[in-house]
């Protein structure tokens, strides 16, 4: 153990690293020892669960210089919270106590070290990812684990592989070819039901964020038999990863990525750096930009599924899981018009995924474009007898096959959205007009210690510092259809502020006023937040 560790981690840095909302994320040069140690931990987790475990090397939408890691549990979901704690402990252990830290975990979890261990490893396109994934592989070998190195894959592809392996092929074949075949066959079957499927309607502009998603879209393309005609931008051939492009840029800046050539009314989408997020958008004829975020995606998919369930005569409860960031208009539309159950959780895929598991069918999406649908496989057992029911059941079955139930997946979500739009003969404008977003604004505030802010009610209320929530409530009261909340970020050292209201001006002023309240009451540092112009 010592020898390999010295090779990989001769200079563990003194930074305190935390396994956060979506794993470790920091400057790539601080991560070699963490990667090696997570290779060790993954083999322990594999022995504990007697299953294959995944390790993905990526920092998603962060700048190219950063990197990170996510651990994937047996069904393809995020690693269980108690093991996030072990990950943090192990990443920060001093070199001399590493062996005893490992022994502690082995004892606490009563792990039988003579069990076989199997770990799947994948990585994104960052320059540092190859070196860092080698450190993971070394860690796995060091504890005698078997390795399957998938090399360059999207995060959701690795989640999918892990799920396939642990369900012994029931979910699909654990190869890239298997993934493309499963998705493309389902897509082609679904689009046979399309209305007026002209070349114009089949056209989609895709912003690959100069990352792994772009490479994988190219691989998928051939299997789609021109049923989807993707025009790829930011394919990594010259631009920098996530720089002025990608889903995060588009959502936060509320404008198109650079490097894309959009005609009026053309349907466009952006992936993030590891292709587990997607947002759609278009420019209308007067040049104004329209964003269709995770809330619009959840609405489109849940509406479609609800109709199919009714047609197939299946009485199942469908719910949409959102976070506090969901636009108020989307929640209102889903509850009042669609009459579906809406549930709100804390930010972070693992919370939404967990909440969605409680329903017959759980559609979960964060406004930022992370999401998928769970539990659809239950349908496979329910064969309908009447013809029109059979037709709906067949559509459901193909939709199930198109959805990556292990985690949110930009490629799979894109194909689901494209299939639904094709089947309904719907344009992007028609989809957009299902409801109108309330104007909103997101800001950040720097404070000395963001842990001063503690929240409750799925992050919608601040319980500390005392008096902050009362101030927010008083500010919100001044505006029509207004709502605001604050929460400490789980990925950066700052506090996030969200406000929405009937007009953009009110949303902007409210967001600024709430930022000031945070600054004054929660230990703001640096310059006082300035009003938006």
60 is in an annotated binding site: yes
506 is in an annotated binding site: no
488 is in an annotated binding site: yes
Looking only at Cα atoms, what is the longest distance across the chain?
69
88 is in an annotated binding site: no
As a whole number of angstroms, the distance between CA 395 and CA 190 comes to 6
Residue with smaller CB distance to ligand 16G, 44 or 59:
59
Q: Please give the structure tokens belonging to residue 386.
A: 């009447």
Q: Is residue 274 involved in binding Mg ion (CB under 5 A)?
A: yes
* Minimum distance from residue 211 beta carbon to ligand 16G (Å): 15
Q: Please give the structure tokens belonging to residue 354.
A: 């967990």
Sole window of 201-209, 269-277, 449-457, 491-499 interacting with Mg ion (rule: CB under 5 A): 269-277
As a whole number of angstroms, the distance between CA 334 and CA 405 comes to 22
As a whole number of angstroms, the distance between CA 205 and CA 259 comes to 11
Give the side-chain half-sphere CA count within 13 A for 178: 16
Q: Please give the structure tokens belonging to residue 130.
A: 């190859």
| Total chain residues near ligand 16G (CB under 6 A) | 13
Residue with smaller CB distance to Mg ion, 23 or 139:
23
Residue with smaller CB distance to Mg ion, 52 or 242:
242
491 is in an annotated binding site: yes
* Minimum distance from residue 277 beta carbon to ligand 16G (Å): 8
Task: Classify 60 as helix, strand or coil.
Answer: coil
Q: Is residue 276 involved in binding Mg ion (CB under 5 A)?
A: yes
490 is in an annotated binding site: yes
Residue with smaller CB distance to ligand 16G, 194 or 514:
514
Going by C-beta distance under 8 Å and a sequence separation of 6 or more, which residues neighbour residue 448? 523, 524, 525
Angle at 136 between CA 48 and CA 115, to 5 degrees: 25
* Minimum distance from residue 350 beta carbon to ligand 16G (Å): 6
Q: Which of 60, 133, 302, 506 is catalytic?
A: 60
366 is in an annotated binding site: yes
Residue with smaller CB distance to Mg ion, 274 or 418:
274
Q: Is residue 60 involved in binding Mg ion (CB under 5 A)?
A: yes
Within residues 348-387, the interface with ligand 16G by CB under 6 A covers 348-349, 366, 368, 370
In eight-state DSSP terms, residue 384 is -
| Residue selected from 17, 22, 190, 419 as contacting ligand 16G according to rule CB under 6 A | 22
Taking residues 469 to 498 in sequence order and writing x for each that binds ligand 16G by CB under 6 A, - otherwise, the string is --------------------xxxx---x--
* Minimum distance from residue 324 beta carbon to ligand 16G (Å): 11
Active site residue 129: no
Q: Is residue 401 involved in binding ligand 16G (CB under 6 A)?
A: no
Sole window of 159-167, 192-200, 270-278, 341-349 interacting with Mg ion (rule: CB under 5 A): 270-278
Residue 158 CA, chain-centre distance (Å), reads 14
Strand-pair category, 371-374 with 361-365: antiparallel
Going by C-beta distance under 8 Å and a sequence separation of 6 or more, which residues neighbour residue 358? 319
Residue with smaller CB distance to Mg ion, 66 or 274:
274
419 is in an annotated binding site: no
H or E element at residue 374: strand 371-374
141 is in an annotated binding site: no
**Residue 492 burial (CB < 10 Å; 0-12/13-18/19+)?**
middle
The residue to which tokens 């029509």 are assigned: 480
In eight-state DSSP terms, residue 333 is I
The helix/strand count (H/E) of the chain reads as: 18, 19
Residue 299 CA, chain-centre distance (Å), reads 17
Radius of gyration of the chain (CA): 23
Residue with smaller CB distance to ligand 16G, 207 or 409:
409
Identify each DSSP E strand in 184-299 by its residue range. Answer: 203-207, 229-233, 268-271, 278-283, 289-292
SS (H, E, C) 90-155: HHHCCHHHHHHHHHHHHHHCCCCCCCCCEEEEEECCCCCHHHHHHHHHHHHHHCCCEEEEEEECCH
* Minimum distance from residue 272 beta carbon to Mg ion (Å): 4
* Minimum distance from residue 62 beta carbon to ligand 16G (Å): 9
CB 320 within 8 A of CB 298: yes
Within residues 483-512, the interface with Mg ion by CB under 5 A covers none
Q: Is residue 524 involved in binding ligand 16G (CB under 6 A)?
A: no
Residue with smaller CB distance to ligand 16G, 335 or 493:
493
As a whole number of angstroms, the distance between CA 487 and CA 410 comes to 26
Taking residues 371 to 390 in sequence order and writing x for each that binds Mg ion by CB under 5 A, - otherwise, the string is --------------------
Look at residue 274 and give the partner it binds from Mg ion, ligand 16G, none, a contact being a CB closer than 5 to 8 Å depending on partner kind: Mg ion
| Residue selected from 272, 293, 366, 513 as contacting Mg ion according to rule CB under 5 A | 272
| Total chain residues near Mg ion (CB under 5 A) | 4
As a whole number of angstroms, the distance between CA 185 and CA 172 comes to 12
Look at residue 349 and give the partner it binds from ligand 16G, Mg ion, none, a contact being a CB closer than 5 to 8 Å depending on partner kind: ligand 16G
Q: What share of the chain is helix, strand, coil (3-state, %, to 5)?
A: 45, 20, 35
Residues near Mg ion, by CB under 5 A: 60, 272, 274, 276
Binding-site members are 60, 272, 274, 276, 366-368, 487-491, 496
Binding-site members for substrate are 366-368, 487-491, 496
Binding-site members for Mg(2+) are 60, 272, 274, 276
Residues near ligand 16G, by CB under 6 A: 21-22, 347-349, 366, 368, 370, 489-492, 496
Could you give the residue numbers annotated as active site? Answer: 60
């Amino acid at each position: 153990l010592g020898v390999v560790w010295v090779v990989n981690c001769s200079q563990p840095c003194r930074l305190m690293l935390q396994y956060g909302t979506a794993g470790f994320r920091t400057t790539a040069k601080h991560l070699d020892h963490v990667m090696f140690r997570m290779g060790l931990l993954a083999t322990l987790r594999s022995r504990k669960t007697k299953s294959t475990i995944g390790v993905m090397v990526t920092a998603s939408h962060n700048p190219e210089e950063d990197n990170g890691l996510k651990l994937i549990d047996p069904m393809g979901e995020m690693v269980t919270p108690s093991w996030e704690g072990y990950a943090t402990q192990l990443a920060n252990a001093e070199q001399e106590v590493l062996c005893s830290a490992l022994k502690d975990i082995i004892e606490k979890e009563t792990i039988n070290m003579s069990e076989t261990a199997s770990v799947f490893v994948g990585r994104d396109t960052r320059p540092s990812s190859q070196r860092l994934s080698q450190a993971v592989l070394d860690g796995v070998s060091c504890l005698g684990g078997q390795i399957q190195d998938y090399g360059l894959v999207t995060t959701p592809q690795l989640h999918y592989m892990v799920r396939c392996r642990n369900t012994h092929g029931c979910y699909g074949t654990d190869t890239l070819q298997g993934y493309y075949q499963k998705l493309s066959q389902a897509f082609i079957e679904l689009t046979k039901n399309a209305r007026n499927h002209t070349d114009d309607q089949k056209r989609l502009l895709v912003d690959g964020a100069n990352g792994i998603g772009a490479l994988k879209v190219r691989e998928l393309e051939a299997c789609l038999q021109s049923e989807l005609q993707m025009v790829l931008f930011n394919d990594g051939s010259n631009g920098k990863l996530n720089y002025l492009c990608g889903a995060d840029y588009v959502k936060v800046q509320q404008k198109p990525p650079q490097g894309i050539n959009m005609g009026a009314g053309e349907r466009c989408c952006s992936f993030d750096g590891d292709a587990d997020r997607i947002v759609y958008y278009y420019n209308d004829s007067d040049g104004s930009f329209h964003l269709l975020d995770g809330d619009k995606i959840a609405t489109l998919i849940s509406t479609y599924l609800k109709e199919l369930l009714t047609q197939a005569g299946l009485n199942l409860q469908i719910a949409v899981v959102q976070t506090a960031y969901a636009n108020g208009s989307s929640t209102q539309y889903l509850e009042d018009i669609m009459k579906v159950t809406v549930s709100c959780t804390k930010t972070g895929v693992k919370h939404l995924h967990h909440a969605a598991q409680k329903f017959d069918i759980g559609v979960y999406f964060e406004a930022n474009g992370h999401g998928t649908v769970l539990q659809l496989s239950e349908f496979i057992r329910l064969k309908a007898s009447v013809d029109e029911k059979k037709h709906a059941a067949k559509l459901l079955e193909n939709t199930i096959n198109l959805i990556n139930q292990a985690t949110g997946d930009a490629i799979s979500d894109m194909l689901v959205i494209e299939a639904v739009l094709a089947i309904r003969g719907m344009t992007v404008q028609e989809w957009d007009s299902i409801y109108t977003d309330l104007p909103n604004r997101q800001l950040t505030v720097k404070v000395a210690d963001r842990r001063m802010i503690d929240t409750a009610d799925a992050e919608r209320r601040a319980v500390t510092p005392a008096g902050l929530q009362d101030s927010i409530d008083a500010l919100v009261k001044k505006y029509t259809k207004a709502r605001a909340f604050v929460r400490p970020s789980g990925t950066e050292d700052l506090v996030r502020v969200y406000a929405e209201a009937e007009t953009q001006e009110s949303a902007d002023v409210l967001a600024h006023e709430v930022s000031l309240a945070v600054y004054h009451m929660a230990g703001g540092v640096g310059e006082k937040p300035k009003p938006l112009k």
